[in-house]
Amino acid sequence: MATILTTRGLGLDYGNFTAVGKVDLDLEANSLHSLIGPNGAGKTSFFNIVSGRLPATRGTIEFDSKNITRSPAHGRVKLGMARSFQVTSLFPESSVLDNLRLAALGYEADRSLRFWSTWSTEAGKHEIADKVLVELDLARHAATPVGALSHGTQRLVEIGMCLVAKPKLLLLDEPMAGLGLADVPRVSALLLQLKASYSILLVEHNMHVVMGISDRITVMFQGNVIAEGSPEEIRHDANVKRVYLGSSV
């Protein structure tokens, strides 16, 4: 299977502190690859390097056969990379549909304020938002202000705002964070559905979810990779159990 994201020796230093050591990772196209580890393991820092929010101190990143190590964040978005965050970033007073349409406009920020844009261009962006609304089963909430929705449904809207950018790779940072027990199965089912059409790199602390939906798992500890494999391999890895999983999984 083709690899859509490859990192080699990727690392990040803050002065004398090493947040990410030298990480090698291969993410196959149309698969869900989870990144796990205890707090402070370097997972979010690794996400920040891959998404372009922070420059790598060392190593290389290849995305869709292109070297993007020095590419800015907006350049990576245009190549097909989209990221969500641990804390939802939505417009709570606006409707679900308006949030998706605003995200579609923001995908081409350099064109969003061109008042002479053709009707067909704007209509095309609306069509993308409408399509995502249906894809995520959010049509019944189309006119609902986002702030009135459950946290789980807000998570779906945030993922939808990533999808309107027509990405090849989704970087999802703890989408289960703060969800109630009733919302976790719904978001898990969505991720399983999405990996048929998108490649997904997931950071998540809910190990039952990770073990149930991942194709591959990379385990980080103190900034470095200590294991990589299938869920079953990770579940029985003695070193991973010792530093992270314990006996709960």
Q: Which residues of 162-192 are buried (b: 16+ CB within 10 A; e: fewer)?
A: bbbbebbbbbbbbbbbebeeebbeebbebbe
pTM to 2 decimals?
Answer: 0.87
Q: How far apart are CA 107 and CA 92, in angstroms?
A: 20
The greatest distance separating any two alpha carbons of the chain, rounded to the nearest whole angstrom, comes to 62
Assign 3-state DSSP to the chain and report helix, strand, coil percentages, each to 5.
Answer: 40, 25, 35
pLDDT score of 243: 85
> Lowest mean pLDDT: which of 112-116, 205-209, 227-231?
112-116
Residues 6+ apart with CB under 8 A from 14: none
Regarding beta strands 58-63 and 224-229, do their DSSP bridges make them parallel or antiparallel, or are they unpaired?
A: unpaired
Domains and CATH numbers, the chain: 1-80+167-249 (3.40.50.300), 89-166 (no CATH)
pLDDT score of 87: 63
pLDDT score of 182: 85
pLDDT score of 124: 63
242 and 234 Cβ atoms separated by less than 8 Å: no
227: three-class secondary structure by DSSP: strand
pLDDT tens per residue across span 72-131: 999 999 999 999 876 667 889 999 999 999 888 866 544 444 444 544 455 566 788 999
Side chain identity at residue 18, one-letter code: T
Helical packing angle, 96-107 and 119-135, nearest 10°: 130
pLDDT tens per residue across span 24-72: 999 999 999 999 999 999 999 999 999 999 999 999 999 999 999 999 9
Q: How far apart are CA 62 and CA 52, in angstroms?
A: 12
pLDDT score of 167: 93
pLDDT score of 181: 85
pLDDT tens per residue across span 143-197: 999 999 988 899 999 999 999 988 999 999 999 988 888 889 989 999 999 999 9
